[in-house]
Amino acid sequence: MSDMQLMFQRYRKYIFYLLALYVLGWGFTKYQSVFLGLLLGTCITLYNLWIMVRKHKQFGRALDEGRKTGSLGTTSRMAAAGVAVFFALKFPEYFDLISVIIGLMTMYVVIMIDYVIQHSRA
């Protein structure tokens, strides 16, 4: 299994733990719109990571076969983030906009924490 696949599995596991915490926060606190915004943003960032890993594999295969390479899906990832912000703006009673934006940035924090953990082991 490639390093990218191993990293994706680790990141996905961490994100699922965070999503479980957000669901508990949504269910047991009075800050439901905050936790629902975190859920929405984090789900979109997980989807964006999945798109990036898939495009990375396609990009590598195209280079190995000598074919032309496409983009890495920046437009589709930006559109997914735009949809999340759209929902937060359209339904402010359900989704807190700041929480959605923090959720969208969650993957970068997970990547940095995983980097520190993996390099402290080595």
Residue 11: which residues within 8 A CB-CB, separation 6 or more? 49, 107, 110, 111, 114
Which residue ranges make up each domain of the chain?
Answer: 3-110
Residue 86: which residues within 8 A CB-CB, separation 6 or more? none
73: pLDDT strictly greater than 90: no
Residue 49: which residues within 8 A CB-CB, separation 6 or more? 8, 11, 12, 15, 107
- The 10s digit of each residue's pLDDT in 10-35 is 999 999 999 999 999 999 999 999 99
Let me know: does 111 contact 49? Beta carbons within 8 Å: no
- Per-chain mean pLDDT for the chain: 92
Structure confidence at residue 47 as a pLDDT band (50, 70, 90): very high
Backbone angles phi, psi at 70, to 5 degrees: -90, -170
Can you tell me the distance from the alpha carbon of 20 to that of 89, in angstroms, rounded to the nearest whole number? 24
pTM, two decimals, is 0.89
Can you tell me the distance from the alpha carbon of 69 to that of 21, in angstroms, rounded to the nearest whole number? 39
Sign, Cα dihedral of 76, 10, 101, 90: positive
